[in-house]
Structure 1
Amino acid sequence: MKDNSQETTHFGYKTVDKAQKKSLVAGVFDSVAAKYDVMNDVMSFGIHRLWKRQTLDASGVRKGQRILDLAGGTGDLTAKFSRIVGPQGQVVLADINDSMLKVGRDKLRDMGIVGNVEYVQANAEELPFPDDHFDAITIAFGLRNVTDKDKALRSMLRVLKPGGRLLVLEFSKPEHDVLNSLYDFYSFNVLPQMGGLIANDKESYQYLAESIRMHPNQDTLKQMMEDAGFEQVTYQNMTGGIVALHRGFKF
């Protein structure tokens, strides 16, 4: 009997051909791009800004460095990194989705951020950059949408400089049962309704809730990073484990 496990993957709770997932995810983010920042604030009650601040603090980024903000979307982290690295540094805002990249580029240009930011449409599984190129890579709320996460992690390792670090900020598994139950109720009963009211797209936010549940938990992702070749991998739970920040180094 033919084993189809290598040919299929999950899109939320649905099983789809691996070749389909990229276009399905693209459809979600084409739909939500224009309202993405507003929905982030509403969905997280603004707490996503604190999660991203913690990621910045853990990045160790300094003036003159080269940073990859992968799946960087509308550019929240890119904007901060741009100011930190200064005119001698460089930040690459990369996203597989052209609609998100355009929203990010327009937003950052409206903020007056030009000169040290480059915009690249890129697939995390096959990054179009040289080996040993970046001092740090961040991927915030993007890894769960990648079809082949193991391949993507190996690709990130390749383009990191020795001594560089990867930071993965992603929704994860709440630490306590009561919080987990409340989070489930919010995700599947409130979040899609918000998506329908604010972004006129209930289905995309249903997928986002499902994609969070299908993402590897904290310890599983830690092991995946180690298997990809990262060292000294640690994670920090935030908001009771609703979000986790994983950090790993290349030596």
Structure 2
Amino acid sequence: MNRPDEGTHFGFRDVTLGEKQGLVNDVFHSVASRYDLMNDLMSGGLHRAWKTIMVNTLNPPRNERPYALLDVAGGTGDIAFRAARASGKGFRASVCDINGDMLAVGRERAVKRHLDDRVSFVEGNAEALAFPDRSFDGYTIAFGIRNVPRIDLALKEAYRVLKPGGRCLCLEFSSVDVPGLDRLYDLFSFRVIPELGRVVTGDAESYRYLVESIRRFPKPAAFADMIRAAGFSRVNWQTLSGGIVALHSGWRL
């Protein structure tokens, strides 16, 4: 069992586990209203293609068969909305996020997209989900797992709430593996992204943390081992865009 005073990291800073969640919350309170715009600017729109690949891989049923998705750390609803549009009438999604400001943005977007009857929003912690065992067919988390203080607990919770035969998909930034692109990527990340954050949201420090947190996240093989340790089977991953992101998959059998 992890202790609140146990050490971890917040970007390149060393902090305690007890401190990290509050610091992460402050980041997303600060950037919630411009979060999706910043995603477009930071990725040149590529995040849309990555999320489409994630939803296509999830492959929710297109008929009336009931299907329940839990999208964690997905406050603004991006993944849930894409999955709802790609599925049939039996699809329902619960978006769970620890940040109320992000959820407020998501609820507004759901109403505007006429998806509020199929996508619901719940404030909660990825490390202690308030859902029954074996209650979801799919679990997704996009660009959120690296912000969880205790990643191992979040993965165990993902396993717990999935039905047998359910699939967990995790889309996260990874390690660029193309010579030359890695240096350009570092330059863009550390010089351009914080400045974009300052101009668009008035907050450079939050985006400096987000860039640093990517560098502290486990490499794909190490993260795959963590998914296996949580109980998942048939674990694999694919890298996208030269390794900028990786899509990880695991099944509860």
In the superposition, the TM-score normalised over structure 1's length comes to 0.95
Unaligned 5+ segments in structure 1 are none
Residue in 2 that maps onto 1:193: 195
Separation in structure 2 between the aligned mates of residue 58 and residue 246 of structure 1, nearest angstrom:
10
Larger displacement relative to structure 2 (114-123 or 210-219) = 114-123
Comparing 118-127 with 171-180, which one deviates more in the overlay?
171-180
Q: CA deviation at 1:199?
A: 1.0
> What are the superposed Cα offsets for residues 192-221 of structure 1, whole Å, 9 maximum, x if unpaired?
011011111100000000011011111111
Correspondence 1:4-19 to 2 at 5 A: 7-19=6-18
Q: Equivalent of 2:211, from 209, 212, 217? A: 209
User: Where do 1:21-100 residues align within 5 Å?
Assistant: 21-62=20-61, 63=63, 64-100=66-102
Asked if 1:161 is matched to 2:160, the reply is no
State the secondary structure of the residue aligned to 1:147: coil
**What secondary structure does 1:112 align onto?**
coil
Letter of the 2:250 counterpart:
G
Q: TM-score, normalised to structure 2's length?
A: 0.95
What is the deviation of 1:162? 0.4
Spell out, residue by residue over 1:98-152, the C-alpha distance to the aligned partner (whole angstroms, 9 max, x if none): 1101111111111111212211111111111111111001100000000000111
72-81 vs 239-248, greater mean Cα deviation: 72-81
Q: What's the C-alpha RMSD, in Å, of the aligned pairs?
A: 1.4
Which residue number in structure 1 is paired with residue 110 of structure 2? 108
Letter in 2 for 1:156: A
Aligned to 1:218: 220
For residue 96 of structure 1, report the CA deviation from its aligned partner.
0.8
Deviates more, 1:195-204 or 1:74-83: 74-83
SS in 1 for 2:127: helix
User: Contact between 1:87 and 1:115, CA under 8 Å: does it hold in 2?
Assistant: no
> 1:247 aligns to what?
249
Aligned AA (2:36): D
Indicate whether 1:170 and 2:183 are aligned: no
* Rounded Cα–Cα distance in structure 2 between residues aligned with 1:7 and 1:200: 32
Q: What is the distance in 2 between the residues matched to 1:10 and 1:119?
A: 29
Distance 1:5 1:128 in 2: 21
Give the aligned residue type for 2:22.
S
* Cα offsets for 1:17-63 (capped at 9, x unmatched): 11111110000000000000110000000000000000011002114
Counterpart residue number, 2:126: 124
One-letter code aligned to 2:174: S
Q: What SS is found at the alignment partner of 1:208?
A: helix
Separation in 2 of the partners of 1:53 and 1:81?
9
Distance (whole Å) between structure 1 residues aligned to residue 91 and residue 197 of structure 2: 37
CA contact (8 A) 1:86 1:116 kept: no
The Cα of 1:87 is off from its aligned counterpart by 3.9
Specify the code of the residue in structure 1 equivalent to 2:70: L
Contact 1:141–1:170 (8 Å) recurs in 2: yes
Report the 3-state secondary structure (helix = DSSP H, G, I; strand = E; otherwise coil) of the residue aligned with 1:124. coil
Q: Whole-Å Cα distance in 2 between the matches of residues 109 and 120 of structure 1?
A: 15
2: CA distance, partners of 1:219 / 1:240: 16
AA at the equivalent of 1:61 = P
